[in-house]
Amino acid sequence: MTLVLHLGGAVLVRILGALLALCGLAAALDLVESAADVLARDDGGLGRYLALRAPVILTAVTPVALIVGPVLAFLSLAGRSEFVVLRAAGTTTYRMLLSLAPVALALGLGFYVLTDRVSPTLEGRLSAWLDPAPAESAGAFWARTRQGVIHAASSSPEGDRLGGVEIYGTDAEGRLLTRITAGAAYFENGAWRLEEATRLTPGDASSIRIDGDMWETTLRPANVRALAAPTRSVAGNVAERILSGGWVGNRTAEFYRTRVYRGYAAFLAPFVMILLAAPAAFGTRRGGGLGRRGALAVALGFGFLLLDGMLTALGETGNLPPALAAFGASAMFGALGLWILITLEE
């Protein structure tokens, strides 16, 4: 327990220090670009902007802090010859790294909640708050359901009214079955009512008036609000609902499957980063090698982030199986880090 507290505290303190420094720098640079627009608003101003923007910034800088923090901790401990003392007392490097598992688990849980739950939600709220679109075109979106494709030219802030609705019903092979156009759609008593609506079926001579008809769909006001303020990231639980048909999305199934797996892969990132930082623990102040091994650890960490981003992009576009896209980089660099650790330990 003494070893766990000592090593875990050293790593955690430096990760948090790097995170605060990087977050402060990123927030300052972000405000340089957007401060004038934010300060001009009278519905929350700077405080509201920072509250909504902070999780997005944290999501971007946390992986870098997970690289830098463990490397700095290991360099500091190696510089004071603490690893030499621990090895002389019979503690192997494997046991030292294993003692950091509780810290990695806590960091993985926090990173998962941040990237897979908090950040996507607040990013959508920030986008809706800053949206400069005029009222007549605010909330326009396209969406895909199991029954076809939907387009709305506008939507209300509450998501219970759609304007300029077009509904393209398709079969399982994507062939067009019907086309419904409506001037508006209102959500009442758990269902959508169409106004100024017509339905055209391919092969018919003319369209049929269907004013007042109910529209059967899984689309709900909360779903409309999410579609009207799209974000770059999607929460894993939302992606699961879209894949099961309980929520409406506007991207491909491969994108949502990758997002689901990415949420689970977030747990692994701290474990991989700490393992890749292990070379920094093998240098000594007298024997040298601290700088070289520290640079190697940092290079490995950024290489992991680069490959992880590339594979994720390939998975989201359907060019790579989602599971491989989400876990491929963790598996490859985890194996590489373990091989380097075994080589150095021998």
Tallying the residues shown for the chain, one arrives at: 346
Say whether both 43 and 101 belong to one domain: yes
pLDDT value at residue 169? 92
Report whether pLDDT(134) > 50: no
| Token code pair at residue 41 | 């608003």
Say whether both 124 and 30 belong to one domain: yes
Say whether both 204 and 264 belong to one domain: no
Backbone torsions φ then ψ of 69, nearest 5 degrees: -60, -55
Number of helices (H) and strands (E) in the chain: give both, helices first: 12, 7
Inter-axis angle of helices 322-345 and 290-316, nearest 10? 170
Banded model confidence at residue 138, pLDDT cuts 50, 70, 90 = low
Integer angstrom CA distances of residue 240 from 88, 135, 243, 250, 263: 51, 32, 5, 14, 11
Say whether both 6 and 87 belong to one domain: yes
Kindly state the average pLDDT of the residues 132-140. 58
pLDDT tens for each residue of 197-215? 999 998 887 889 999 999 9
Say whether both 192 and 298 belong to one domain: no
Given 183, 212, 228, the domain boundary residue is: 228
Say whether both 122 and 30 belong to one domain: yes
**What contacts 68, CB < 8 A, 6 or more positions away?**
14, 15, 18, 298, 301
Kindly state the average pLDDT of the residues 251-257. 92
pLDDT tens for each residue of 157-186? 888 999 999 999 998 888 899 999 999 999
Say whether both 12 and 95 belong to one domain: yes
Does residue 336 belong to any structural domain of this protein? yes
Say whether both 294 and 274 belong to one domain: yes
Q: Is 314 helix (H, G, I), strand (E, B) or coil?
A: helix
Say whether both 150 and 220 belong to one domain: yes
Say whether both 125 and 216 belong to one domain: no
201 φψ region: left (φ > 0), alpha (ψ -120 to 50), beta (else): beta
**How many domains does one find in the chain?**
2
d(CA 310, CA 56): 20
Does residue 163 belong to any structural domain of this protein? yes
Does residue 151 belong to any structural domain of this protein? yes
Whole-structure pTM value = 0.84
Banded model confidence at residue 302, pLDDT cuts 50, 70, 90 = very high
| Token code pair at residue 343 | 């080589």
Q: Among candidates 340, 266, 267, 277, which has minimal Cα distance to 97? A: 277
The residue segments making up the domain with residue 202 are 135-228
Say whether both 90 and 179 belong to one domain: no
Longest dimension (CA), the chain: 90
